[in-house]
């Protein structure tokens, strides 16, 4: 059984951009499920099928399997529901990797940092650009962003001001 431990944070300002080690374009669509999200992700020339439990919090079940790119393209085109597009930037601080997702399309303006940890209470760096933690706020999960994009949020303007600092 796979378990993912991940913390999510809003990203403030643009200071992190000077620390980018690499960036990856991501297109992902969801195939449905009440108790889990089933996602097809096309990341550059790599395709993955991902199944993740839907409960909120830092720790969730996660299973991931490679998928032929041609199958992923067909699944995204013909079977996926809402989609999320983003650029994932990798920023390394003191050996820890922050994945900073800069969303596009209906989620433009939202920038979220994630860090995968070995334990829920693991110590990790907190650079100045790391904003408020949103790990337990399900609306920041990619599946929810596909269903209810950032452009539809009533507090969107307030959040944009919060992350612009």
pLDDT digits (tens, 9 = 90+) for 28-73: 988 877 778 888 999 888 999 999 888 888 888 999 999 999 999 9
Task: Tell me, yes or no, if 65 is annotated catalytic.
Answer: no
Our count of domains for the chain comes to 1
The CATH number of the domain holding residue 91 is 2.40.320.10
Confidence (pTM):
0.85
Residue whose pair of structure tokens reads 């991940």 in the numeric block: 6
Which helix (H) or strand (E) covers residue 28, if one does?
A: strand 20-30
- Is-contact 129 15, C-beta < 8 A? yes
Structure tokens at 154: 């009533």
Torsion sign, CA atoms 10, 92, 106, 54: negative
Ranges in the chain, pLDDT < 50: none
25 closest CA partner among 10, 7, 45: 45
Distance CA 11, CA 99 (A): 11
Residue 36 confidence (pLDDT): 82
- In the set 30, 98, 140, 141, the catalytic residue is 30
> Which is nearest to 47 in space by CA: 74, 79, 23, 86?
74
The pLDDT of residue 1 is 54
Q: Which bin fits 149, alpha (ψ -120 to 50), beta or left (φ > 0)?
A: beta
Structural domain harbouring 104: 3-164
Give the per-residue pLDDT at 2. 79
């Amino acid at each position: 059984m796979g378990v993912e431990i991940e913390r999510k944070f809003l990203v403030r300002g643009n200071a992190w951009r000077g620390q980018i080690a690499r960036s990856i374009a991501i297109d992902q669509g969801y195939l449905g499920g009440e108790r889990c999200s089933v996602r097809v992700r096309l990341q550059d020339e790599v395709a993955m099928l991902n199944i993740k439990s839907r409960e909120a919090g830092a720790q969730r079940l996660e299973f991931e399997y490679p998928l032929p790119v041609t199958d992923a393209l067909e699944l995204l085109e013909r079977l996926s529901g809402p989609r999320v597009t983003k650029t994932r930037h990798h920023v390394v601080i003191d050996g820890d990797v922050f994945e900073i997702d800069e969303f596009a399309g209906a989620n433009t303006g939202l920038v979220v940092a994630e860090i995968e940890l070995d334990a829920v209470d693991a110590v990790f760096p907190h650079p100045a650009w790391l904003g408020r933690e949103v790990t337990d706020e399900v609306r920041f999960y990619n599946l929810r962003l596909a269903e209810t994009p950032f452009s539809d949020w009533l507090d969107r303007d307030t959040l944009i001001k919060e992350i612009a600092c």
